[in-house]
Amino acid sequence: MATRTVRGRLPTLQEALILTATIILILTVGSLMLGISVQLSLFFSAALTCGFAVWLGYSWPQVEEMIRSGLEAGVLAILLNLLIGMLIAGLCACGTIPYLVSLGLEIISPRFFLVDAFLVCCVFSCCMGSSYTTAGTVGVALIGLATVMDVNLPSVCGAILGGAYFGEKISPISEATNTVSVCANVMLSKHIRAMYYVIVPSAAITAIIYLLIGLFSATKRVDFVTAQGLEQVFTRVFLFTPILLLPLAVLIFMILKKFPALVTLTAGILSSILVSFFIQKISITDMAQILMDGFSVQTGSELADAILEKGGLRSMNDIVSIMVCGMPLGGLLKGSRVLEILIHHFQVCVKTLPRLILSSIVCSIAVGGMTGSNYPAYLLTSATFEESYDAFHLDHSMLSRSCEMAAFGGVILPWTSTGAFMSSVLGVSTTAYAPYFIFGMLVPAFSVLCSLTGWGIFVSDQNINLQEGRLFSGKKKH
């Protein structure tokens, strides 16, 4: 006789709220106030959730399956992080990063540094379609340049991240953009059109704010003695030639041709190895060591060493350990149906369009923060709120736009995979750069503003007049 698998009971709303509040307390107080490592905070949160799942009636093999499903969801992200670590080391070794820094010293003024950094990253992210790749390439070069110019690094990080996410959210080659459009069951072109209404005005205001910050606070000029000394150090270590930009060109070409991310990053690493071997005369054995441990050189200049000594597979150890500890927590919360209960009760409270948009945005950010990844937020938010958006006769591009807001919350939380990656690669803590992530604050705000004004709101039934108030009255048409 076949044995019947017994599934644990559904948690009550009170139980789900208590568990969620406890996890948030562990993560915030432990990581941000007591200085406990993020990995330990995530581990204890996952252990608590394991006990909760067993208390609900799940067997230990079922709990292990939840943990396994969470880890499986993060395997690709772990591989991508490791490859980006090696790519950064390769770009430093072949001379691409110092070459970009030298070019920047000749072109960019400290007074306009923030707005220039933001706009440069906007362009590169549109071409690359990835905030990770943008931050790990151009972002690293801009941090090095900001160090030379003595520009406030947290503010530079905010500008870099703003530009990096600008392109990721409107580029048709972005993996995140394609994923969220599939989750919300909407055409990619419609999703991107909807994003324009919140991304473009947010970017314009962000650029103006960064410009004003630079004009009113950047009183220092570049120390030409320091700049010339740095360029002399670079030219002593590297042979500068436009060929050093080849790895970036390869990355952009591969992305535009829509090659998978793993293939694209591998091609970028291989091209940096070739440039290092033929131009910088670095042996294959030495390059293998650099890709593993990061680029290291003793130039006699502390400033130059700080710019160059970056990357390597080992540099991603902290990020990978955060993901390994955090992904099981997401699998446990989803498998034990805690998130399902919370989102369901949250969704029931929706009565008007502004509340619907706001609730789905908060839900997306909260799920992304709880699970440490944006993809569960896309899946759960779109599945839970789809019926409500249909009841309000909203086009599904409105739902996909709300789901996208998860990315802007995750990047400022140290326990998420995105927050851990950005803080590690750029060398600035999430708490330090969060106040300067102006673009990330404005995009969700504009999404809510659209719901209040009706501007940028698309409906599935063209006969519905937004201004007549049906969407604002709370009366759903059945």
- Rounded to the nearest 5 percent, the helix, strand and coil shares of the chain are 75, 0, 20
Q: Name the least confident of 94-103, 104-113, 162-171, 219-228.
A: 219-228
Segment 346-357 shows an average pLDDT of: 81
Note the pLDDT of residue 471. Answer: 44
* pLDDT average, residue stretch 405-414: 93
Residue whose structure tokens are 């009636």: 57
Task: State the CB neighbour count (10 A cutoff) for residue 4.
Answer: 6
Residue 477, pLDDT score: 39
CB atoms within 10 A of CB 118: 27
Phi first, then psi, for residue 394 (nearest 5°) are -90, 145
DSSP states along 71-120: HHHHHHHHHHHHHHHHHHHHHHHHTHHHHHHHHHHHH--GGGHHHHHHHH
Of 48, 78, 52, 88, nearest in space to 291 by CA: 88
Tell me, what's the pLDDT at 467? 43
pLDDT recorded at residue 49: 95
Q: How far is CA 28 from the centre of its chain?
A: 19
Average pLDDT over residues 473-477: 39
For residue 385, what pLDDT is reported?
87
Write the pLDDT tens digit of every residue in 356-376: 999 999 989 988 888 888 888
**Contact 183/378 with Cβ under 8 angstroms?**
yes
How confident is the model over 467-472, as a mean pLDDT?
41
3-state DSSP assignment of residue 394: strand
Residue recorded with tokens 């591989």: 79
Give per-residue pLDDT as tens, 323-343.
888 889 988 998 999 988 888
Per-residue tokens: 269: 């690493």
Under DSSP, is residue 205 helix (H, G, I), strand (E, B) or coil?
A: helix
- 224 pLDDT band, cuts 50/70/90, is low
Whole-angstrom distance, CA of residue 405 vs CA of residue 168: 12
Please answer whether residues 393 and 459 qualify as being in contact, where contact means their C-beta atoms are separated by less than 8 angstroms: yes
87 closest CA partner among 276, 306, 319, 230: 276
Q: Which of 137, 130, 192, 200 is nearest to 165 (CA)?
A: 130
Question: Is the separation of the CB atoms in 405 and 445 below 8 Å?
Answer: no
User: pLDDT: is 207 or 261 the higher one?
Assistant: 207
For the segment 410-416, the average pLDDT, to the nearest whole number, is 92
| Nearest to 129, CA basis, from 79, 75, 165 | 165
Instruction: Return the percentage of the chain with pLDDT > 70, whole number.
Output: 92
Taking only the tens place, the pLDDT of each residue in 159-178 is 999 999 999 999 988 888 98
- For the chain, how far is it from start to end, CA to CA, in angstroms? 47
Q: Is pLDDT above 90 for 419?
A: yes
Q: What is the mean pLDDT of residues 23-47?
A: 88
Using left for φ > 0, alpha for ψ between -120 and 50, and beta otherwise, residue 37 falls in beta
- Res 456 pLDDT > 90: yes
Lowest mean pLDDT among 3-7, 83-87, 311-315, 373-377: 3-7
